[in-house]
Amino acid sequence: MQRLRRGRRGLRLSRGPQRRVLLIAPPNSYRTFAYLDAGRRHGIDVVVASEGEHALVAALAGGLHLDLQAPDALERLLALNARTPFQGVVATDDQTVELASRVAAALGLPHNPPAAALCSRRKDLARARLAAAGLPVPDWRLLRLDRPLGPQLEGLSYPLVVKPVSLSGSRGVIRADHPEALREAIERVRRLLAGERQLPAVEREQLLLESFVPGPELAVEGLLTDGRLEVLAVFDKPDPLEGPFFEETYYITPSRHPAEMLERVERRIAAACAAYGLREGPVHAELRLHAGDAWIMEVASRTIGGYCGRLLRFEAGHGLEALVLRHAVRDPLPLVPPTGAAGVLMIPIPGAGILRRVEGILAAQREPGVEEVVISVREGYALVPLPEGASYLGFIFARADEPAAAERALRRAHRHLRVVLAPNIPLSLATG
Ligand code: ADP
């Protein structure tokens, strides 16, 4: 075991036998590098299991290539453990939370029950559990796309939100204010799902319809230990999210909502975790404040999306991923909330097209308070906006004494950016 020792220059880690964490990541995960980096800094050997030859970053010599959907994935990971035993298992993204929970359960390590992990990525199952637990949830119903829609759409009231049962990052989430818009939204999501061949049929053939919950939105990062929730950070989303699509943009921490409301938020998330059966590891929750209560939009059993985890810095140089890794190997954690304010802007994708260049990055970077501007796609990449798109254009990170100042810095920085796109001409036209 490594121990924290208080030295003259603060907390230091003394080395003990090497600890090892199995990190299960889809090939396109934004978080793999952050976990590897955190492992290196904090003396934890991170072994990545992922798909495809190109899944693993160059920094990684070891690791296991495996088909995450294959029936023998669990068996192969257990065989890997027999050679190099793990003290913890972490999933980077929604797609891998169930497999991670099954591996950890088989190894007798702290884990979420697989049914709870499934619930944390299946919006229909989650709604049913929340409703059964008496938590505030919008009216909802499941649509079967392989059956006639007419009878299934009777007796609805508007506005509504249409969403796939298992995608993330707001993909396929569309607001509809009247029956015609609803039909269009359903067809659009049907086309999107038809291209998601990796999904099981049950996730491609069903859609969730929910009543639209108005109100400001919050995001919360937390950590569960034996079913007890510790809130690590609360983010406000200062731009109203009214639809028809729900692009993530500004996340600012700490929250400026009143303390009583934030206590309610925490209670609602803890109750949602209990309703799903979640007990261990990171949770990322999104809620709306409406009618004096906190309404769960989702609770995922992983950390915040994209590179946003970079924003959080805890005591003794711990980033979010370092906390998650150390928690997974049951190290005592320095759980002191981050100080000061910080914000991230997930840079909006201005339209569909091929990325030519992003102008104004230096000017954005020079804005006081701005820490970093990261463009996460390369020139030549086809940008696809919501509701179909799945990737981030980039991120701006800012730090300040007050949340309002962090938000202002991000807004000023964003005004400098100009995203230059070329039309994405279909090949048949270009060659014809
Ligand atoms: P994802 O997991 O893809 O992010 P969510 O179900 O969390 O999907 O929805 C994404 C966003 O869409 C939410 O953060 C919220 O802004 C909006 N949204 C989803 N459902 C509703 C709803 N019933 N009422 C209002 N807004 C919603």
CA 259 to chain centre: 25
Q: How far is the CA of 250 from the centre of ligand 1 (A)?
A: 15
Same domain, 180 and 107: no
Give the domain-ending residue among 96, 112, 128. 112
- Contact 248 CB / ligand 1 (< 6 Å): no
What's the gap in Å between 189 CA and the centre of ligand 1?
A: 14
Same-domain check for residues 92 and 167: no
Q: pLDDT tens-digit profile of 345-382?
A: 999 999 999 999 999 999 999 999 999 999 999 999 99
Q: Give percent above pLDDT 70 in the chain.
A: 91
pLDDT recorded at residue 80: 92
Q: Do 75 and 147 reside in the same domain of the chain?
A: no
Ligand 1 mean position to 352 CA, how many Å? Answer: 22
User: Looking at the predicted structure, is the pLDDT value of residue 6 above 60?
Assistant: no
User: 423 and 344, same structural domain?
Assistant: yes
Distance 317 CA to ligand 1 centre (A): 33
Domain of 187 in residue numbering reads as 139-211
- Please report whether residue 169 resides in a domain: yes
| Of 252, 301, 279, nearest in space to 122 by CA | 301
User: Which secondary structure element, helix H or strand E, spans residue 156, and what is its range?
Assistant: none
Which residue's alpha carbon is at the smallest distance from atom 8 of ligand 1? 170
Task: Say if residue 52's pLDDT is above 80.
Answer: no
pTM for this prediction: 0.92
**Which of 77, 95, 112 is where one domain is finished?**
112
Give residue 427's pLDDT.
62
Q: What is the CATH number of the domain that holds 175?
A: 3.30.1490.20
Evaluate: CB of 93 within 6 angstroms of ligand 1.
no
Task: Give domain status of residue 191, yes or no.
Answer: yes
- Coil, strand, or helix at residue 328? helix
Q: What residue has token string 């793990």?
A: 86
**Calpha distance 233→284 (Å, rounded):** 10
180 domain-assigned: yes
Q: What's residue 28's pLDDT? A: 84
Tokens in use for 47?
């072994």
- 81 and 144 in a single domain? The answer is no
SS3 state at 180: helix
Domain termination residue (choose one: 211, 231, 247)? 211
Is the shortest distance between the CB of 216 and ligand 1 below 6 Å?
A: no
**Residue the block writes with tokens 């950590």:** 223
Residue 367 Cβ contacting ligand 1 at under 6 Å: no
Atom 13 (ligand 1): residue with closest C-alpha?
Answer: 297
Q: Is 122 in the pocket of ligand 1 (CB under 6 A)?
A: no
Residue 17's pLDDT band (cuts 50, 70, 90): low
Contact between 318 and 331 under an 8 Å Cβ cutoff? The reply is no
Same domain, 159 and 93: no
Domain assignment present for residue 311? The answer is no
Going from the Cα of 120 to the center of ligand 1, the distance in angstroms, rounded, reads 14
Instruction: Give me the pLDDT at residue 338, please.
Output: 74
160 occurs within a structural domain: yes
Residue 297, domain member (yes or no): no
For residue 129, pLDDT beyond 50 = yes
The arithmetic mean of pLDDT across residues 12-34, rounded, is 80
Phi, psi at residue 339, to the nearest 5°? -100, 160
CATH number of the domain where residue 414 is located: 3.30.470.20
Which one-letter DSSP state was computed for residue 96? G
Asked whether the beta carbons of 51 and 68 are under 8 A apart, the reply is yes
Rounded-to-10 torsion of CA 74, 96, 352, 188: 90
Cβ atoms of 413 and 344 within 8 Å: the answer is no
Mean pLDDT on 198-222: 96
Task: Answer yes or no: is 373 within a domain.
Answer: yes
What pLDDT sits at residue 3? 34
CATH of the domain at 60: 3.40.50.20
Number of CB atoms found within 10 A of residue 74's CB: 15
User: What's residue 191's pLDDT?
Assistant: 96
User: What would the pLDDT profile of 62-108 be if each residue is shown by its tens digit?
Assistant: 678 888 888 999 999 999 999 999 999 999 999 999 999 999 999 99
Residue 9 banded pLDDT, cuts 50, 70, 90? very low
pLDDT, residue 418, reads 98
Q: What digits encode the pLDDT tens for the residues 226-262?
A: 999 999 999 999 999 999 999 999 999 999 999 999 9
Residues 106 and 29 in one domain: yes
Looking at the structure of the chain, the number of domains it has is 3
How many C-beta atoms surround the C-beta of residue 331 within 10 A? Answer: 22
Q: Which of 127, 160, 173, 196, when mutated, tests ligand 1's pocket best, judged by the most ligand atoms within 8 Å of its CB? A: 173
Q: Is 161 in the pocket of ligand 1 (CB under 6 A)?
A: yes
| Dist. CA 309–CA 340, nearest whole Å | 16
Q: Phi and psi for 247 in degrees, rounded to 5?
A: -70, 130
